[in-house]
Amino acid sequence: MATAADRKLPNILITGTPGTGKTTTSELLAIATGLNNINVGTIVKEKECHEGVDKEFDAFILDEDKLVDEMEEMMSAGGNIVDFHSCDFFPERWFDLIVVLRTYNEILYPRLESRGYKQHKIEENVEAEIMQVVLEEARESYKPEIVIELMSNTVEEMESNVNRIEEWVENYKANHQ
Ligand code: ADP
Ligand code: MN
C-alpha cells in the first residue's frame, strides 16, 4: 500500500462546517494545481454509501466503511483534493495536509439561509462552527502539524487560501520527485 513517503502527488482534505467554502475552494484549487477534485458528497450519493436519510436533519446517514472502500484506490494513487465536512473516519495515512475553513457566524448564517436550509439545520451548523467542531475533529484525528485553519469570509480570503495551498503543493512536489 502506498504511504505518504512514496506519493509523488499529495492528498489534501478541505474540510469545514457546511457553507464555509469547501466546494468553491476545492474547485479553484483543482484548476490551479491540476490535482483531482473529489467531492465526497457526490460519491456518497452516486455509490450509495449511506443507509438512508436522516429526516430531521435532511442529511445522509453515512456508510463510512463503504465510502472508504470506494475511495481507497484513488487515494492510494495520490494527487487528490477531498471536499467533505467530516474527517474522523478517513484513514490517517491518506492525507498530507488538512485544511479547515472557518467563517464568522454572521457571515455563515446568511450563506446557509440562501442555500434554503431549514432553520434548525442552519442553527445546528452555526453552533457547530462556533464550537469549532470540525477543527477539533481534525486535530484529534490527524497529526497537529498537518492541520491548518484558514479564514474563509471573503472572496479575497478564498483567493489567498487557494494561492497559499497551491504554493504548499508546489513545495510538496519539489520534495517528492
Ligand atoms: P461548502 O462546500 O463548504 O458547503 P460552498 O463552497 O458551497 O461551501 O460555499 C457556499 C456559498 O458561500 C457559495 O455561494 C459560495 O460562493 C459562498 N462562499 C464560500 N466561501 C466564500 C468566501 N470565502 N467568500 C465569499 N463567499 C464564499
Ligand atoms: Mn460543498
CATH number, domain of 23, equals 3.40.50.300
Considering the chain, what is the average pLDDT of its residues?
A: 95
* Mean pLDDT on 120-144: 97
Nearest-atom index, ligand 1, CA of 154: 24
Q: Is residue 2 part of a domain?
A: no
Q: Distance from the CA of 17 to the center of ligand 1, in angstroms?
A: 11
Task: Give the residue-averaged pLDDT of 113-134.
Answer: 96
- CB of residue 27 inside a 6 A radius of ligand 1: no
Give the range of the structural domain holding residue 134, as residue numbers without chain letter: 18-41+81-169
pLDDT at 140 over 90: yes
In a domain, 136, yes or no: yes
| Residue 171 burial (C-beta neighbours within 10 Å; 0-12, 13-18, 19+) | exposed
Percent of residues, the chain, with pLDDT higher than 90 = 92
Q: How many residues does the chain have?
A: 177
* pLDDT for residue 146: 97
Report the first-to-last Cα separation within the chain, whole angstroms: 19
Residue 66 assigned to a binding site: no
Q: Which residues pair with 134 in a beta bridge?
A: none
Q: ipTM score of the complex? A: 0.99
Q: Are 10 and 81 contacting, i.e. CB atoms less than 8 angstroms apart?
A: no
In angstroms, what is the span from residue 175 Cα to ligand 2's centroid? 31
pLDDT digits (tens, 9 = 90+) for 60-117: 899 999 999 999 999 999 999 999 999 999 999 999 999 999 999 999 999 999 999 9
Q: Does residue 130 form part of some domain?
A: yes
Count of domains for the chain: 1
Q: Is residue 51 part of a domain?
A: no
Quick one: which atom of ligand 1 is closest to the CA of 25?
Answer: 6
In this structure, the residue with its CA closest to atom 6 of ligand 1 is 21
Mean pLDDT of 110-126: 95
Strand partners, 50: 62
pLDDT at 3: 58
User: pLDDT at position 76, please?
Assistant: 95
Residue 174, in any domain of the structure? no
User: Can you give the pLDDT at residue 59?
Assistant: 82
